Structure 1
Amino acid sequence: MGHMSEDRTKERVESTAWWPKWEQELGEYINTCERCQKANRKQGNKYGLLQHIEDPKHPWETINMDWVKDLSQEAKKTTMPA
């Protein structure tokens, strides 16, 4: 279950409940909401810039790997040939 924006959530809580420091605590809760952090993750340049890789001069001088992260449980049961 999600929640509304911080302002709308505060309006809703203000009309139905009260406790000391409620506004500060509610703001902290909303700003650290794990679900919101994942959903509102910043997109874009997450990693460094692409750079030219020198051609190897000898076999096995360089080894490259591709990493795949955050696969669903279903995807983990599937193999992908290289």
Structure 2
Amino acid sequence: MKTYAKHKQCGILLQLLQKKYRSPELESQLEEPWLRDYKDNRFFLIDGLLYHREKHKSALTVVDKDHISLILQECHDCPYMGHMSEDRTKKKVAGTAWWPQWEQELNEYIIT
């Protein structure tokens, strides 16, 4: 949870999810797409880990900015799996973790 606290939106979500009652004051501090997904009940907290559920898919761990590059590297450049195509890398990331604009960041990573 310490790494989540470094990211403003994750920190706000943690506070909201730990409360028993709604907090319009905290909710107003969330930015999109965090606010929309919070209102759609897509975030939840288990044992200090923040999860995000995308529609009918499995829940994924929400990762902070400190770990995004590691996930992209492991899913695209992992020497044990060989260099993956864009489609295979997208599937791998989509089943590993969640953060806003992950597809855009993945595309930028693949290009560079």
- Give the TM-score band, short-chain normalised: 0.3 to 0.5
Bigger Rg, which one: 1
TM-score by length of 2: 0.27
Q: TM-score, normalised by structure 1?
A: 0.36
Q: Which has the higher helix share?
A: 2
